[in-house]
Amino acid sequence: MTALSLQADCSRCAALCCVVLAFDRGEMFAFDKPACEPCRHLAADGCQVHADRKPLGFRGCIAFDCAGAGQYVTQVMFGGRSWRDDPDLARPMGEAFATMLAVHAQLGHLHQSRSLSLPDEMQQRLCELERALQPAAGWTLEDVRAGRAEKAVAEVRAFLASLRPFVATRS
Ligand code: SF4
């Protein structure tokens, strides 16, 4: 099993969140940005307003956490390549990032659920699902396009929904 890091490392990512994700002007962002278009503040060496994001109206950028999906897509799925060097990579990297965001988020939820008092069979299922989200060979773009990663995510969501009674009894 290839363990996924749930800790974002922007230094190993091709600034995917600043390109792939769309945002709307409002409380969290100062202007509209369509999906798959680089933010106007993004330069070759990163965000040009990084230290001033809050006063400039980009609290959404501060709050966002890809949980490690960005560097996974950049380093593991695309071998360190970037849309900056090859614009044709922008679309496939965007596809991969959208799916890997969900994979990383659901893996984080599973890790948190380990602290619940679950029956043995559910603990076992939880471990199975953690393994399914971290295939030994790693995720590939082909897996994403074939829907295999989304299928794994859907199974985790269904399992997490079944944990509600255990969450309620904990508090
Ligand atoms: S403001 Fe900076 S951190 Fe936010 S999307 Fe633009 S470049 Fe990225």
At 71-100, the pLDDT tens digits run: 999 999 999 999 999 999 999 999 999 999
> By the 8 A CB rule, do 99 and 150 touch?
yes
Distance, in Å, from the CA atom of 24 to the CA atom of 41, rounded to the nearest integer, reads: 15
Q: What is the pLDDT of residue 167?
A: 85
Distance, in Å, from the CA atom of 40 to the CA atom of 47, rounded to the nearest integer, reads: 9
Q: Is 16 in the pocket of ligand 1 (CB under 6 A)?
A: no
Distance 15 CA to ligand 1 centre (A): 9
Distance, in Å, from the CA atom of 46 to the CA atom of 107, rounded to the nearest integer, reads: 28
Alpha helix ranges (H) inside 64-147: 69-71, 90-113, 120-133, 141-145
Please choose from 50, 58, 65, 66 the residue to mutate so as to test ligand 1's pocket, defined by most ligand atoms within 8 A of CB. 58
Please choose from 42, 52, 62, 66 the residue to mutate so as to test ligand 1's pocket, defined by most ligand atoms within 8 A of CB. 42
Q: What is the pLDDT of residues 18-65, one digit of tens each?
A: 999 999 999 999 999 999 999 999 999 999 999 999 999 999 999 999
Distance 41 CA to ligand 1 centre (A): 6
Q: What is the pLDDT of residue 169?
A: 59
